[in-house]
Structure 1
Amino acid sequence: MNGFFDFYTILFLVLAVVIFLRLRSVLGRRTGSERPPFDPYSAPKGSGGPATDKVISLPQRDGAGARAEAAANDDFGDIAPEGSELATGLSALRAADPSFNPARFLEGAKAAYEMIVTAFAEGDRKTLKNLLSREVYDGFVGAIADRESRGETVMSKFVSIDTAEITEAGLRGRSAHVTVRFVSQLVSATSNKDGNIVQGDPNAVSEVTDIWTFARDTGSRDPNWKLVATESAE
């Protein structure tokens, strides 16, 4: 039995050595002169030499070319007339954040506006915390707490957002600020603890105009904007 075991043990050892030698001959050994792994984000070493290994170097834009391209892209259509103060402010935002797109921003602002108004009516502090600056959040939560202490509840329903237009834009340091004027149609009513309506009308549609300012740190990786100021136009 021991002889049988020894025979197969030796056989497996020989096979392992053979396999190792074959792999070594195929894969080769490290000599210290191998080329490092390709890094697509690193610039090629040297300059002016011929391209090799089918690597194509893209032409570099100088400062004037970059500015010309930015100016060509600063056509904000109906959002801001060319040469206006608003267009200048939007251009400053785009220079700080080339991905900034006023039209897409407005779509996001309208969604945020509806979410914030709804969350405030429902007392949804978690949703509000993700969408508001600390100062605005504290104000909203304080109003919710006062309402809850009186046993009041709010019913709010959006009918439509008729208008959402950017009225101001600009940079404050590296913080981008955009002010939007919203005109919406909504149904809103506040009931006391006895269920009686104390404000608004659950059967009437009212027009509401709000002016909200959103901000984002252009130096941050966080792409989200937060509401930093509110006022009513009424």
Structure 2
Amino acid sequence: MSGGFPVDLILFAMVAAFLVLRLRSVLGRRTGFERPRREGPGAYDPAAQRQLPPAEAAADQPPPVVADDTRRIVPDPRSPVGQALLRIKGVEPSFDPLGFLHGAEGAFRMVVDSFAKGDRETLRMLLADDVYAGFEGEIARREAAGETQRSEVRAMQETKIEAADLRGTVADVTVRFVSDQVNLTTAKDGSIAAGHESVTELVDIWTFQRDLRSEDPTWKLVATQSA
């Protein structure tokens, strides 16, 4: 975790019901984060158009092409990390590193938003037990103190796969997020307890994990750190 934030597609303030719908579109079958079929790993072309799945897309419909300014970087297939990604693809042929980055960005935005709102239900679906315990503990402390958290991801500058590992059928993928955020904690009396109104560049490194043979398509967040 970094800044005022202790550790999607996604992108934004929504009520719990909408968050759950967005979760299914981000971490479900069509993003490449779990269940897509797209091109294999390779160098990212920033001039190329990219695909993001709409929340309403049917499972058998291709996602629309959407351009944005985020730099998404996947490792060279010949590198050690690239080789690990190829091993993951060998177990799950639909795995696509670039699609995974889209989904990871969605999960990142959703977790930031849900943590600020104290949305335990959404966090529980996205986080491993020990990570959830840390988030929930901070939410409880904030509630007891009468504090209000405001966290906004204003822009995602870069997402990059930094590490990957496969142990049996359990895959770990570590992503480096560079984002512009506003993080502000307001005390019960309305004063600023932490953070500020200005936009700050933050670097977070999150590790997602999934058993590739599991029926559950969700990659859970299992570790966080700030760079």
TM-based fold match above 0.5: yes
Give yes or no for the alignment of 1:150 onto 2:145: yes
Contact kept? 2:41, 2:97, Cα under 8 Å:
no
Residue 117 of structure 2 aligns with which residue? 122
User: What is the TM-score when the length of structure 1 is the normalising length?
Assistant: 0.66
User: Secondary structure of 1:177's partner?
Assistant: strand
Q: Kindly provide the CA deviation profile for residues 182-229 of structure 1, in whole angstroms up to 9, marking residues without a partner as x.
A: 000011110111010011112x10111100000111111221111111
- Secondary structure (helix, strand or coil) at the match of 1:224 reads coil
Task: Kindly indicate whether residue 42 of structure 2 is the aligned counterpart of residue 76 of structure 1.
Answer: yes
Q: 1:211 aligns with which of 201, 205, 210?
A: 205
Q: Contact conserved, 2:77 with 2:86, CA < 8 A, in 1?
A: no
Please give the alpha-carbon distance, in whole angstroms, between the structure 1 residues aligned to 2:194 and 2:88: 41
User: Aligned partners of 1:132, 1:91: CA distance in 2, in Å?
Assistant: 25
- Per-residue CA shift, 1:146-179, capped at 9, x if unaligned? 1111111111122101011000011123211000
Q: 1:215 & 1:183 partners in 2: Cα distance?
A: 20
What whole-Å deviation, never above 9, does each CA across 1:26-81 have from its counterpart, x for those lacking one? xxxxxxxxxxxxxxxxxxxxxxxxxxxxxxxxxxxxxxxxxxxxxxx754223112
Q: Does 1:93 align with 2:88?
A: yes
Separation (CA, whole Å) in 1 of partners of 2:98 and 2:41: 11
1:118 partner letter:
D
Aligned to 2:97, which of 102, 106, 129?
102
**For residue 6 of structure 1, what is the aligned residue in structure 2?**
none
Partner Cα distance (2:183, 2:199) in 1: 8
SS of residue paired to 1:129 = helix
Higher RCO structure, 1 or 2 (CA under 8 Å, sep 6+)? 2
- The AA in structure 2 aligned to 1:140 is F
What is residue 161 of structure 1 aligned with on the other side? 156
The answer for the alignment partner of 1:55 in structure 2 is none
CA distance in 1, matches of 2:117, 2:127: 16
> CA offsets, 1:112-138, max 9 Å, x none?
000001100111101101111111111
Partner of 1:199: 194
CA distance in 2, matches of 1:171, 1:117: 27
Equivalent in 214, 218, 223 of residue 220 of structure 1: 214
Q: Which amino acid aligns with 2:194?
A: Q
Q: In terms of Rg, which structure is larger?
A: 1
The CA distance in 2 between the partners of 1:197 and 1:120, in whole Å, is 18
Matched, 1:230 2:196: no
Q: Which amino acid aligns with 1:139?
A: G
Give structure 2 stretches of 5+ with no counterpart: 1-38, 45-73
For 2:41 and 2:131, locate their aligned partners in 1 and report how far apart those are by CA, in whole Å.
33
| Structure 1 outlier segments of 4+, above 4 Å | none
Partner residue, 2:58: none
* TM-score (ref. length: structure 2): 0.68
How many corresponding residue pairs?
Answer: 160
Residues of 1 paired with 2:41 and 2:113: CA distance? 34
- What does residue 64 of structure 1 align with? none
Q: Which structure has more helix as a fraction of its residues?
A: 1
List runs of 5+ in structure 1 lacking aligned partners. Answer: 1-72
Is 2:154 the partner of 1:188? no
Percent of residue pairs bearing the same amino acid type: 47
Q: 1:171 aligns with which of 166, 170, 173?
A: 166
Secondary structure of 2:179's partner?
strand
Checking the alignment, whether the CA contact within 8 Å between 2:41 and 2:96 is kept in structure 1 is: no
Cα RMSD (Å) of the superposition? Answer: 1.2
